[in-house]
Chains A and B, each alone.
Chain A
């Protein structure tokens, strides 16, 4: 089975721009979770989608948003980028919702905001 894929793998943007990241889960997985990883804060939960519905949301500003499509692929968008948004963005898929089921991570998208 193919693993979780994320595109693009690397991205450079400037402050004020917006960015869209994409995640394709493992075939058959209906839950996709997004995380931001920085050296200082570690892995922080952004949001989770299950069957096109947002099930959980982390403590991030409204500039961070996401959606899930009927084929379970998910996108996250960050508007009005700030320098502090530079991070590794990881998505993880699982067969169930709420984090109880094992989550499998994609390779991540490394975002640099200049």
Chain B
């Protein structure tokens, strides 16, 4: 059974701080990794995708992948109240379905 694990939270950070979201996965053959953001009552929207070990930066967001440790993380710098949402980690191996974690709820206080 392929699994993707995330802390459910809530993770609370003050405005302007760095929020760190973590995800572990069980399938060592996983090749593609995604972070989605989901606001309450809305559908998930893609924030980042990462395929190789290391860091990938996009604006205030940085995704980090460590395949040896089967670990992927998302850092949000200068967190804003508008970043308050549930963050979903998704993992897949080529040819198979995308498997989602249950998400981490982030709350950014002003």
A residues near B (Cβ < 8 Å) are: 33, 35, 41-45, 48, 56, 58, 90, 97-100, 102-108
Contact = CB atoms under 8 A, between A and B. Distances in A.
Contact of A42 (B31, B45, B96, B101): B101
Nearest to A41: B102
B92 A99 contact: yes
A100 B94 contact: yes
Contacts of B49: 102
Nearest to A39: B102
Contact of A100 (B42, B45, B92): B92
B99 interface: yes
Interface in B67-91: 88
B20 to A, nearest CB: 21
A48 B42 CA distance: 21
A33 B43 contact: no
B43 A99 contact: no
Interface string B13-38: 00000000000000000011010100
A56 B96 CA distance: 7
A99 B96 contact: yes
A45 B97 contact: yes
